[in-house]
Amino acid sequence: MNEIEERLAALESRVGSLKDWKQKYEEDKRKWDMEKEELLRGVDAAQKLKEALLQFLPTAASGPGYLAPGGKVTKETLNLDHKELVVNLAHEEKELTMTTATKVGEVMFCALTELSKDGFSEAELSDVLKDHGWNVPHNTLAPTLGGLVRDGYLVKLEGTRPTKYRLPKKVKLNVRVEGG
C-alpha cells in the first residue's frame, strides 16, 4: 500500500511540475508572440521605407553606367533622420497622515524628530523607539522599514554596514504633536 501511495505522490508531483512547466511555456509563448508581432511591424515599416526610397532611385534605363546622349552624371544624396521622443509626466502632491498608533507612524515619528537626517541604523531607531516606550521587535521593524523604503517614505543607503536609512530630501514632511 505504501508503494502505491509513494507512486501516487510521485505522479502528483510530476503532474504539478508539468502544470508549472505548461504555465511557464504559455507565458513565454505569449511573450514570444508579442515580440514576433513587434518584429513583423518593424519588417512592414522597413518594407514601406524601402518602397518609398525606391521612388527616388533612378530607373534601369538611367541607372548606373547609363548616360543619356549629351547628358551628364549627377550624384544625389538622400539623408533621412527620424527621431521621436515622447515624455508624459504628471506630478501630483499627495498628503499622507500617519499616527503613532501604528508601527509605521512610530517609526516615521522617530525618524522625523530624533534621528540623524544623514542616516540612521535599525539599532539606533530601535533604541529611540524604546525611549518612547514603543518596543518594536526586529521581526516587525525590518519589514516596516522595507515597506517604508518601497513606498518612498525612507531611503535605504546602499553600501552601509549596518544598513542605514534616511528621510528623502525632496519630500515635505510635517510633524504635529498633539497633547504634548
pLDDT by residue (tens digit) across 74-101? 677 777 888 888 888 888 877 778 889 9
Q: What is the pTM of this model?
A: 0.48
Residue 94 lies in a domain: no
Beta bridge partners of 121: 164
Residue 83 lies in a domain: no
Give me 100's grid cell. Answer: 503613532
pLDDT beyond 70 at 110: yes
User: From CA 68, how far away is CA 28, in angstroms rounded?
Assistant: 58
Any residues with CB less than 8 A from the CB of 104 and at least 6 apart, and which?
Answer: 98, 144, 147, 148
Residue 96 lies in a domain: no
Residue 160 lies in a domain: yes
Q: Choose from 10-14, 35-39, 66-70, 78-82 the range with maximum mean pLDDT.
A: 35-39
Residue 56 lies in a domain: yes
% of the chain beyond a pLDDT of 90: 46
Residue 31 lies in a domain: yes
User: From CA 81, how far away is CA 166, in angstroms rounded?
Assistant: 46
Residue 37 lies in a domain: yes
Containing structural domain, residue 32:
2-62
Contact (CB, 8 A) for 129 and 169: no
Q: How many structural domains does the chain have?
A: 2
pLDDT beyond 70 at 66: no
Residues 38-61: pLDDT tens digits?
999 999 999 988 888 777 765 555
User: From CA 151, how far away is CA 94, in angstroms rounded?
Assistant: 12
User: From CA 121, how far away is CA 163, in angstroms rounded?
Assistant: 6
Any residues with CB less than 8 A from the CB of 154 and at least 6 apart, and which?
Answer: 111, 145, 148, 165, 166, 167, 168
Tell whether 57 and 110 lie within a shared domain.
no
**Peptide bond between residue 162 and the one before it cis (omega within 30 degrees of 0):** yes
Residue 68 lies in a domain: no
